[in-house]
Amino acid sequence: MFNALLVRKDDESGKTSAAVEQISLDDLPHGEVTVAVEYSTVNYKDGLCIGPGGGLVRNYPHVPGIDFAGTVETSEDGRYQPGDEVVLTGWRVGEAHWGGYAQKARVKADWLVPLPQGLTTRQAMAVGTAGFTAMLAVMALEDHGLKTGHGPVLVTGAAGGVGSVATAILAQLGHEVAAVTGRPETESYLRDLGASKIVPRAEINETVKRPLEGETWAGCVDAVGGAMLARVLGQMKYGASVAAVGLAGGAALPATVIPFLLRGVNLLGIDSVMQPYDNRVRAWQRIAQDLPMEKLDAMIQPATLEDLPGLGADILKGQVKGRVVVDVN
Residues 191-210 that bind ligand NDP (CB under 6 A): 201
Residue 17 pairs in a beta bridge with: 8
User: Between 112 and 315, whose beta carbon lies closer to ligand NDP?
Assistant: 315
d(CA 328, CA 35): 13
Q: Is 3 in the site for ligand NDP (CB under 6 A)?
A: no
Q: Which of 126, 296, 315, 326 binds ligand NDP (CB under 6 A)?
A: 315
φ/ψ of residue 215, rounded to 5: -75, 110
Instruction: By CB under 6 A, tell whether 239 contacts ligand NDP.
Output: no
Report which residue type is found at 106: R
167: contact with ligand NDP by CB under 6 A: no
Nearer to ligand NDP, 70 or 246 (CB): 246
- Residue 157 lies near ligand NDP (rule: CB under 6 A): yes
Q: Which stretch binds ligand NDP (CB under 6 A): 4-12, 117-125, 158-166, 303-311?
A: 158-166
Q: Residue 133 interacts with ligand NDP (CB under 6 A)?
A: yes
The beta strands (E) that lie in the chain are given as 2-9, 16-23, 33-41, 67-75, 85-89, 104-107, 112-114, 153-155, 177-181, 195-200, 217-222, 236-244, 266-269, 300-304, 323-327
Q: Answer yes or no whether residue 181 interacts with ligand NDP by CB under 6 A.
A: yes
The verdict on 92 binding ligand NDP (CB under 6 A) reads no
Specify burial of residue 285 (Cβ count, 10 A radius: 0-12, 13-18, 19+): middle
Report the relative pairing of strands 217-222 and 236-244 from DSSP bridges.
parallel
Contact in structure between 101 and 64 (CB atoms under 8 Å): yes
Name the minimum Å distance from CB 24 to ligand NDP: 31
Q: Is 328 in the site for ligand NDP (CB under 6 A)?
A: no
Instruction: Measure CA 321 to chain center.
Output: 13
Near ligand NDP by CB under 6 A, which window of 3-11, 20-28, 77-85, 313-321?
313-321
Task: Kindly list the residues in this chain that would bind ligand NDP in the complex (CB under 6 A).
Answer: 43-44, 129-130, 133, 157-163, 181-183, 201, 223-224, 228, 245-249, 270-273, 315, 318, 320
